[in-house]
Amino acid sequence: MNICVTGGAGFIGSHLTDRLIEEGHRVLVIDNLFTGSREFVNAKADFREMDIRDTALTEVLLEFKPDYVFHEAAQTMVPVSMEKPALDCDINLMGLINVLNACRAAHVKKLIMPSSAAVYGDLDTLPLTEAMQGAPSSFYGLTKLTTESYLRIYKEAFGLDYICFRYSNVYGPRQGHGGEGGVISIFCERLAKGQGVTVYGDGEQTRDFIYVGDVVEANMLALQHTECSGVYNVSTEVGTSLNTLLNELKSIIGTDIDVTYEPTRTGDIKHSRLSIKKSNDNLGFRAKIDLTSGLKTTYHYFADMENFDM
């Protein structure tokens, strides 16, 4: 099939593109390289350096005729959304509207894209289910929550089908520092350089860390289950504390880790864990990569980069 991946030069989008190419699809990557890297774009994909807010996107899709569009391009950094809410809104909502209009014009069968666990805010009834009404604590969470409503109304008003995934904290090779699951890439990169790490709070805060390969798998299931539509969590339903994470990394590296504990940052959520019942029941999704294997692959990716740079 013809498949367009926006954000295909980024962390998740580039892994998704690799898998789609592997499965024999023809892939067009659209990315303005804001946080992405040209080197991450699969050599067999067509690449268009372009902003998702550019209205010429419609012509590009009309020409490529994608069956499906995966829209991974976004402003992904929570602190940036707080410093520059207008920029966050412009990319994540005005950009989204441009993508939705282009998909409509090109008669795309379905738009598959992420929302985020950030839409839940600091709800304390765990695990978090899709039916729960959260109050996001950042503008990033707000643009993601609003995204879900745009998708619903575009479907109801114009018949554009969609699946929207609330990813938990994604980690793996190629991840940058700024995004949501960034703590693992920050830890791995610093440890690979022989540096210590900083933990904000007592380290007992928990997150639902999911390996990027499992996130790609959820997206592939969305292609198979054409009958599914709406919002789905993509997570492991396992909460892991930062202290546990550091112990795992200690075993992988085989040396002690120098950890500095700093006061909790305002706005930091204590615990986050997302239910996978709905995605398991409807899409047959279940995360397969355990934390130890995922962390090993991620740490070695950063360690190899370090050796390469020396």
Ligand X SMILES: NC(=O)c1ccc[n+]([C@@H]2O[C@H](COP(=O)([O-])OP(=O)(O)OC[C@H]3O[C@@H](n4cnc5c(N)ncnc54)[C@H](O)[C@@H]3O)[C@@H](O)[C@H]2O)c1
Which residues are known catalytic residues?
Answer: 140
Residue type, 238: V
The answer for 129, left when phi > 0, alpha when psi is -120 to 50, beta otherwise, is: beta
Q: How many helices (H) and strands (E) does the chain have?
A: 11, 13
- Closest distance to ligand X from the beta carbon of 147 (Å): 9
Decide whether 79 or 194 has the Cβ nearer to ligand X: 79
> Are the C-beta atoms of residues 184 and 176 closer than 8 Å to each other?
no
The three-class DSSP label of residue 39 is: helix
Q: 15-31: string of b/e by CB count within 10 Å (b at 16+)?
A: bbbbbbbeeebbbbbbb
Q: Which two tokens stand for residue 196?
A: 């210590």
Q: Which two tokens stand for residue 17?
A: 């593109």
Considering only residues 166-185, where is the footprint of ligand X by CB under 6 A? 167, 169-170, 176, 179-181
Give the separation between CA 203 and CA 264, rounded to whole angstroms. Answer: 9
Decide whether 64 or 167 has the Cβ nearer to ligand X: 167
Site string for ligand X, 102-121 (x = CB under 6 A): ------------x-x-----
Report CA 74 to chain centroid distance, whole Å: 9
Decide whether 72 or 161 has the Cβ nearer to ligand X: 72
Contact segment (CB under 6 A) with ligand X among 46-54, 96-104, 193-201, 244-252 equals 46-54
Q: Contacting ligand X (CB under 6 A), which of 17, 27, 31, 160?
A: 31
Vertex 35: Cα angle to 29 and 40 (nearest 5): 50
Decide whether 218 or 283 has the Cβ nearer to ligand X: 218
- Closest distance to ligand X from the beta carbon of 20 (Å): 15
Decide whether 90 or 250 has the Cβ nearer to ligand X: 90
Contact segment (CB under 6 A) with ligand X among 50-58, 104-112, 259-267, 291-299 equals 50-58
136 forms part of the interface with ligand X (CB under 6 A):
no
Residues of this chain that bind ligand X (CB under 6 A):
7, 9-13, 31-36, 51-53, 72-76, 91, 95, 114, 116, 167, 169-170, 176, 179-181
